[in-house]
């Protein structure tokens, strides 16, 4: 089985955001895990906290769900 997850969260940009795509289409830039969950919810995908650790749902590139620029 060679299926890719429908959601891809890209590496941090210089502004601290991470581009998010769903099924290959850009859906927005998230600046926190909560914003990723918002984008999932808006697309009708599971948006529970445990969804962020599901590799069948989300591919995290260069960092995981807890790797964000906290302004430090």
Predicted local confidence at residue 8, as pLDDT? 97
CA distance 55 to 71: 27
Residues 6 or more apart whose CB falls under 8 angstroms from that of 3 comprise: 56
pTM of the shown model: 0.89
Which residues of the chain fall short of a pLDDT of 50? 1, 72
Q: Largest alpha-carbon pair distance within the chain?
A: 41
Give me the pLDDT at residue 29, please.
97
What's the pLDDT at 47? 81
Quote the pLDDT of residue 2: 56
């Amino acid at each position: 089985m060679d299926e890719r997850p429908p959601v891809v969260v890209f590496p941090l940009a210089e502004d601290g955001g991470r581009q998010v795509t769903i099924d290959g289409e850009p859906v927005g830039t998230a600046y926190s895990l909560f914003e990723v969950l918002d984008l999932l919810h808006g697309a009708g995908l599971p948006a529970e906290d445990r969804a962020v650790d599901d590799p069948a749902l989300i591919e995290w590139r260069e960092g995981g769900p807890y790797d964000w620029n906290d302004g430090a």
